[in-house]
Each structure stands twice: as C-alpha cells, then as structure tokens.
Structure 1
Amino acid sequence: MPVPMLACSQLGRVLPPPASRFLLADVSLELARGEVIAVVGPSGSGKSTLLRLLNRLDEPTNGTVLLNGTDVRTLPPRELRRRVGIVMQRAYLFPGTVAENVIFGPRQHGRMIPSTEIDDLLTHVGLSGFATRDVLTLSGGEAQRVAIMRALVNNPEVLLLDEPTSALDDAARLGVQSLLESLIRERHLTCVWVTHSIEQARVMADKVLALESGRVSAYGSAAEVLRA
C-alpha cells in the first residue's frame, strides 16, 4: 500500500486553563497524493483549527500528523511550512512589490529566482506585468492570486486553503476558484480546502470532512457525504 501524502490520527486540541475547553477532538483522515478534501461545517466547528494543527501553527494536545509517512513534529518548522503551504481567507502580503512577495519563501532557503521566472509565474496566474506593482495597489482578487503563487513557488507537497475565495466578490471568487482548480490538477497537489460552500466542495473535492462543534460528523467521498 502506498504511504498517504497526508494523514492524521485522533488529532485534537484543548485550550489550557483557564479556558479549559476543547477546540477539536479525534480527527482522523488520509489523503493520497493529488487528492483534495473539503472541510465543511458551521462557524466555530473547528475547521481553521484543523488547518493550524496540520502545519503546526498550533500544537495538538493529542494525536499525530504524518507528512508522507514522517511525523511533522520531527521536521524543523521552516521545512514543514515550505512543504505544507497555506493560503488564508485574506491575502496577508508583505509591504513592497509583487515580486518581493513571490520570492520571499525561496529567499529564506537561499534560492534565488531570476526575474524572467518570476514573470512566467505571474503570467501563469493571470498577473502578467505585475512584478513591480506595489501590493497596496492590488484588488482583492489580484492580491489572493499573489498569495497563491507565493505559496506555490515553494513547491509544497500539501496546500492548505482556508476559505481562499470567501472574502472576494463574485467575479473574483470564480476566477480564483478556477485558477486553483487548474493549478491543483496541473501540479497534482494534495489539498485541504476549508469552505462554507457546499457547491464549492462538490466541484473541487474528492473527499469531504464535516465538522460540528469540534467533532467529525461525516467523512468520506464527496458524493457520499454531500448526498447525505
């Protein structure tokens, strides 16, 4: 049997005193390379908490996360976050130009990217000629495209998506969703996609994990879970 690209077992997080309440409990899942799982559920159900545990932005209270068979706790944080990229609901870009944002990750690892390659990468996400643009001049959809390319330029093995289209208007949302769909298929990316949209889950995902009050209420193929 091939090793899953991403797997977690009995994953959970409990806040320490004085809060002393659990945010997530007993989440287990497996994803093969190239699979996309949609994580759905109401606000406060634990969706974003799960993403933060998968790349150790928060530490789990219990359970394990394996990246291609390796316990993520054995990986240096910088290596882990290169291999497990994340795109947030809003594009948190650094002050400066689009190009400076795109090359930030590789530069941290001592890898330089020539300007011609940056131009090619930006053209690939519909931002031809944007390299020298100040990020403060970008629209919401343009900024999210930069955030996506900033994550992908590190060649991650897994991409975490925390409602990446929910803060956009209808036209930008459809454009970014279509871009992500093509990039995921082209790069054979393994993705965990948090979404409030059942239709988006139906279109994008191979599997669905439904959370309610921090616990799994359903897990299986997209067709099976969404039909239920």
Structure 2
Amino acid sequence: MRIMLVEDNLSLADGLSTVLRQSGYAVDVVHDGVSAEALTAAVSFDLVILDLNLPQMDGLDVLRSMRGRRNAAPVMILTARGAPEDRVKGLDLGADDYLIKPFDIGEFEARIRSLLRRQAGLRSATASFGALEFDLNGRSFSVAGQPLDLPARERDLLELLILRPGKVVARDTITESLTTIDDDLSPNAIEQYVSRLRKRLALAGVTVRTARGIGYFLDQTPG
C-alpha cells in the first residue's frame, strides 16, 4: 500500500516515514502544501497523512482541493492544532481522522490500520481467499494456519489482490501502489513477482490469473 506523508518538520517526517516503511508501506514524503497538492493530483494513494501548518499552502487547502477533485483517498490530519473548531473544520472538509501532536506512535499505527481496513471494506483485521488468509494488523499471510513467508514486494502485491477478491487489479494500480517517486518499478518486475507468487501459492489452491492487457486477479485452482 502506498502512503503520502506531508510534514514540514524534517526530523518528524524522517522518523514517521521510517516507522511506516518498516511496516512495509511504500511512502512518499513531501514537506509543503504545494507539493502535496500536486502529488495527490497525479498519484493514487491508499492513505494521506497531512499536517496543517505547511509552507506555501495550508493543509486544509490541500484537503479542500483533494475533495474538490473527488479524490476519495483516506486522509489522517496530523497536527498541533487541537482546538475543537479546528477538528470540526478538518472533519467537515473530508478528513477521515484527526490526530493531535504530540501522539503515541502505537496509536498512530493503530489508526492507520483502522483507516486502511475501512478503505478495504473489512469489518475485521483479516481477509481470506480459500485457504489463504491475510492479517492486516501484522501484514502477514498464512495458508491453512501456517505462516507464508514472502519477500516485501511479493507480499505487497498479494495484499493488493486479496483486498480485492475476484476483481481485476490494473497494472497501473499495482505500479502506483508498489512504488514511490524515488523507487521505480518496471512491468517486467511485476511479471516476475506474479510468477514467483504462483509458485508459492500452488499448495494453497490459489493462483494469480492474468487479465490480458488489463491486470491480475486471484482465483482458486481446481481441487
């Protein structure tokens, strides 16, 4: 999953991006409102973490612009502005969560998981497809209760697929979700990840099918 972090405090941005990347998310970091507005117009994110007191363009204006373009990506406001009227304004403009600085890092991570579950339409922290199960909290897979160890990129790709069961995930969506502005991903690399996943999932009775010219989807193999 791809997250954009908008934070002008460089040390805080560095610390939070490290935490997010250690959890396996692809993270883009920007430090001003104009860059944030431009990037949300060009890239689809699974979550935007947005400070309000930003150089060049206030965070609320970034949020207003996003929702004006009908960009429905979940937005967590992360700010020192804790007055009730600030929270009300942020939520009324379309923010999905509002976390006030200083904050506990465990709560920060839990709120992210909650927003991503909500976006995926999950009522619990797990998603399953046949014998394959995904734990969103730990971002880990298992087959019939046995852990399935996957390299990071293969896990990220399989996560995209299991959160959209039976639906084709477009190649462009996969590319945007697995890469950042500092880390490009080629179509050939995606093909390699798909091929490796098919081998790893053989015993699970699950495979990754190709929708020719469009993308990929999960399917169950004949028993």
What's the TM-score, normalizing by structure 1? Answer: 0.30
What's the TM-score, normalizing by structure 2? Answer: 0.31
**Which structure has more helix as a fraction of its residues?**
2
Larger RCO: Structure 1 or Structure 2 (Cα < 8 Å, ≥ 6 residues apart)? 1
